[in-house]
């Protein structure tokens, strides 16, 4: 029973950063913006969160710093794609490269230092229940409020939303900032809870998995929970295999989350009806308001 509980808690801990990053990206994509810079925002949140917690000795300061770092990267993304109308795909990829390089530079002095980790109660940290509360809040806002209707309208047809008098650019800015804050918090979770230390490139592709989860969940918030926990379970198989001496190469076990991501995308892409049913029609399309 103790071993099973430990495995369950490990799955929950592995799934939480995926859920946090994915729920933010879901809101961004619902507004019609494709942000491929999630990985860069996560890693900047990780280094900012760890650095702030290390320097102040307060992990809650680290959480705030992680959110701010993610939002700062998101603001840069918004300035480039929404104001200057640069290509969203290229900008997102560039932002990821920037985040990986800049985080390595900023975190060089933190390598090997002990971190101030968030406290746990009954083996659970506060960000685990918060991820469910956040998911419920996003689901409620998107589908039960006027603000959510506006976000979805902007994502489905920005020209029509603009014709109705909605400020498309500002709506998308707010959604991008929210997504950046969630990505930063997810990165902070890695350096403050999952492995309370700073290691360069510690996100290890989780930002890309979060992006795939949004498609996997067909842009529906509660489906993200199932997807995140499924991938969380897959990601800890290597640890389970090592403890139980499975005769399977560790390298193969470590690659399973990424293989699972590819397989999920292939299966979903084959079902065009499911993809078209919830996908925002204006996703990835630039909007330039009429003067």
List the domain boundaries for the chain: 2-278
Q: What is the pLDDT of residues 106-153, one digit of tens each?
A: 999 998 888 788 888 877 899 999 999 999 999 999 999 999 999 999
Percentage of residues of the chain with pLDDT beyond 90: 68
CATH fold for domain 2-278: ABC transporter involved in vitamin B12 uptake, BtuC (1.10.3470)
At 266 the pLDDT is 75
At 288 the pLDDT is 86
CA distances from 173 to 36, 74, 78 (A): 15, 9, 6
At 248 the pLDDT is 72
When pLDDT is cut at 50, 70 and 90, the band that residue 191 belongs to is very high
- Residue whose token pair is 């929404």: 82
Question: How far apart are the C-alpha atoms of 48 and 190, rounded to whole Å?
Answer: 11
Query: Are 36 and 210 a contacting pair, CB within 8 Å?
Result: no
Q: What is the pLDDT of residues 234-256, one digit of tens each?
A: 878 766 666 666 767 767 777 77
Percentage of residues of the chain with pLDDT beyond 70: 92
At 3 the pLDDT is 67
Q: Which helix (H) or strand (E) holds 114?
A: none
Question: How far apart are the C-alpha atoms of 184 and 21, rounded to whole Å?
Answer: 8
Nearest to 67 by CA among 185, 176, 175, 178: 185
Give the Cβ contact number of residue 286 at 10 Å: 15
Question: How far apart are the C-alpha atoms of 173 and 188, rounded to whole Å?
Answer: 22
- What the block records as the tokens of 155 is 């994502």
- What the block records as the tokens of 236 is 């800890």
Nearest to 142 by CA among 285, 23, 274, 227: 23
Give the Cβ contact number of residue 59 at 10 Å: 23
Terminal Cα distance for the chain, rounded: 66
Say yes or no to pLDDT of 258 above 90.
Answer: no
Give the Cβ contact number of residue 105 at 10 Å: 10
At 136 the pLDDT is 97
Say yes or no to pLDDT of 63 above 90.
Answer: yes
pTM of structure:
0.91
């Amino acid at each position: 029973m103790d071993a099973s509980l430990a495995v369950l808690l490990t799955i929950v801990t592995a799934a939480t950063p995926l859920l946090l990053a994915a729920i933010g990206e879901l809101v961004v994509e619902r507004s019609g913006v494709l942000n491929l810079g999630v990985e860069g925002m996560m890693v900047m949140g990780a280094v900012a969160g760890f650095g702030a917690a290390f320097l102040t000795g307060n992990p809650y300061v680290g959480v705030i710093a992680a959110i701010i770092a993610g939002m700062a990267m998101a603001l840069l993304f918004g300035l480039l794609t929404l104001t200057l109308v640069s290509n969203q795909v290229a900008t997102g990829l560039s932002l990821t490269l920037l985040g990986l390089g800049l985080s390595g530079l900023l975190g060089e002095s933190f390598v090997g230092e002990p971190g101030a980790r968030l406290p746990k109660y009954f083996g659970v940290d506060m960000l685990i229940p918060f991820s469910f509360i956040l998911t419920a809040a996003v689901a409620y806002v998107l589908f039960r409020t006027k603000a959510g209707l506006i976000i979805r309208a902007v994502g489905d047809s920005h020209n029509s939303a603009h014709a109705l008098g909605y400020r498309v650019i500002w709506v998308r800015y707010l959604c991008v900032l929210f997504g950046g804050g969630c990505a930063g918090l997810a990165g902070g979770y890695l350096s403050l809870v999952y492995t309370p230390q700073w290691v360069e490139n510690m996100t290890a592709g989780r930002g890309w998995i979060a992006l795939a989860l949004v498609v996997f969940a067909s842009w529906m918030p509660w489906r993200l929970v199932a997807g995140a926990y499924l991938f969380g379970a897959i990601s800890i198989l290597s640890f389970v295999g090592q403890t139980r001496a499975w005769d399977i190469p560790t390298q193969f076990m470590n690659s399973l989350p990424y293989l699972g991501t590819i397989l999920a995308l292939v299966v979903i892409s084959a079902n065009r009806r499911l993809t078209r049913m919830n996908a925002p029609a204006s996703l990835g399309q630039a909007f330039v308001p009429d003067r």
